[in-house]
Amino acid sequence: MKRLANYQCFTLFMSVLMLCVAVRSQLTADFYSKTCPTLPQIVRKVVQNAIKVEMRMAASLLRLHFHDCFVNGCDGSILLDGTDVEKFSVANINSARGFEVVDAIKSAVESQCSGVVSCADILALAARDSTLLSGGPSWKVLLGRRDGMVSSQAQANLSLPSPFEGLNAIIAKFAAVGLNITDVVSLSGSHTIGLAKCATFSNRLFNFSGTGAPDSTLDSNMLSDLQSLCPVNGDGNKTTAFDRNSTDLFDNHYFQNLINNKGLLGSDQILYSSSEAVSTTKSIVESYSSNSKLFFNDFANSMIKMGNISPLTGSSGEIRKNCRVVNS
């Protein structure tokens, strides 16, 4: 009898302890309200200036947060310099950009509140501001992430989705980080802003999957435009807009484009046109194409979910002084 009581007491103790740990490890919107009250304004200002210089920077900063979160969680690991690091993985090399802007945000933040704000949180705030300043939705960014000590190119190669993958493979990569089919579609709506290189979609233009013909789910006018922009053996680094009608505006045209066979990447168009899409993503694309409010609302929720992928909290990780290097 006595033993059982002790055991129950121990169980209760452990439950309370685990509850405390669970609560402690949650991100919160007001995490820096005492230690860096002006943080949101500092980040907003630097992002605003960067976008004034180059509107595409909004897209580039949004993508950095995504690529950070999908590899070992949202821990700033994409920012680390080195040799076998994430920024040189397949999806990022000669492609991920905005690192100088993140440095500028970090130094502005350090000058106001030194040593308290993580680089991972800066990416989350910059992604929200980039979306909002492009005309998209806003949301309360949850904060309190700490910075990781490692950056794994091998993990980035495995975790980040490729434009050449099938829909089931992409859905699986999202599921691996706790994101579902709604998140796949809403977050892909990010491709309403920004640019992509010929090398990321030229597989669709001449001999798609060894068929000897272009991808039949690509609109014929858009096909001929893209064929002249990206000829066989042309410059794979040449870029074009995802959303040709409103390149810099965050809107729901991305989904309208998919319905008109005007998706740019293979991984975009399959959300609507593939056989796997029929029972998964197609109906969500249709909903967003006709309901911009629904898209904005779901996008904001999915960004918060993505920002919650395996954060380091409490005393895990560190607050980096320089986003490019682990503190010594």
Helices and strands: H and E segment counts in the chain = 13, 2
Spatial distance between the Cα atoms of 68 and 121, rounded to a whole number of angstroms: 11
Q: Angle at the Cα of 162 (from 88 to 205), degrees rounded to 5? A: 115
* The one-letter amino acid at 307: G
Considering the rule CB under 6 A, would residue 249 count as an interface residue with ligand HEM? no
Q: Which of 138, 236, 275, 314 binds ligand NAG (CB under 6 A)?
A: 236
Spatial distance between the Cα atoms of 305 and 129, rounded to a whole number of angstroms: 17
Residue located via tokens 């045209």: 253
Nearer to ligand NAG, 133 or 181 (CB): 181
Considering the rule CB under 6 A, would residue 72 count as an interface residue with ligand NAG? no
**Three-class DSSP category at 240:** strand
Q: Which of 124, 196, 270, 284 binds ligand HEM (CB under 6 A)?
A: 196
Helical ranges in the chain per DSSP H = 2-24, 39-53, 57-69, 99-112, 119-133, 153-159, 167-175, 181-188, 220-229, 253-259, 266-273, 282-290, 292-307
Q: Which does 182 bind (CB under 5 to 8 A by kind): ligand HEM, ligand NAG, none?
A: ligand NAG
Considering the rule CB under 6 A, would residue 290 count as an interface residue with ligand NAG? no
Considering the rule CB under 6 A, would residue 62 count as an interface residue with ligand HEM? yes
Instruction: Catalogue the active-site residues.
Output: 67
Q: Which of 72, 89, 188, 252 binds ligand NAG (CB under 6 A)?
A: 89
Query: Is 111 in contact with 48 (CB distance < 8 Å)?
Result: no
Kindly state the number of chain residues that form the binding site for ligand NAG, as judged by CB under 6 A: 22
Nearer to ligand NAG, 106 or 173 (CB): 173
Considering the rule CB under 6 A, would residue 12 count as an interface residue with ligand NAG? no
Considering the rule CB under 6 A, would residue 265 count as an interface residue with ligand HEM? yes
Kindly state the number of chain residues that form the binding site for ligand HEM, as judged by CB under 6 A: 24
Considering the rule CB under 6 A, would residue 138 count as an interface residue with ligand NAG? no
138 vs 8, 118, 297, CA distance in Å? Answer: 46, 21, 9
Q: Which does 37 bind (CB under 5 to 8 A by kind): ligand HEM, ligand NAG, none?
A: none
Nearest-approach distance from CB 32 to ligand HEM, in angstroms: 23
Considering the rule CB under 6 A, would residue 262 count as an interface residue with ligand NAG? yes
Applying CB under 6 A, the span of 51-59, 138-146, 169-177, 178-186 interacting with ligand NAG comes to: 178-186
Considering the rule CB under 6 A, would residue 87 count as an interface residue with ligand HEM? no
* The one-letter amino acid at 24: R
Helical ranges in 260-291 per DSSP H = 266-273, 282-290
Q: Which does 193 bind (CB under 5 to 8 A by kind): ligand HEM, ligand NAG, none?
A: ligand HEM
Spatial distance between the Cα atoms of 86 and 77, rounded to a whole number of angstroms: 7
Spatial distance between the Cα atoms of 80 and 96, rounded to a whole number of angstroms: 13
Q: Give 209: exposed, middle or buried? Use CB within 10 Å, 0-12, 13-18, 19+.
A: exposed
Query: Is 325 in contact with 81 (CB distance < 8 Å)?
Result: yes
Nearest-approach distance from CB 301 to ligand NAG, in angstroms: 7
**Three-class DSSP category at 318:** strand
Considering the rule CB under 6 A, would residue 199 count as an interface residue with ligand NAG? yes
Interacting residues toward ligand HEM by CB under 6 A = 56, 59-60, 62-63, 66, 95, 97, 161-163, 170, 187-188, 190-191, 193-197, 200, 265, 267
Task: List interacting residues with ligand NAG (CB under 6 A).
Answer: 84, 89-90, 94, 153-154, 157, 180-182, 199, 207, 210, 212, 236-237, 244-245, 257, 260, 262, 305
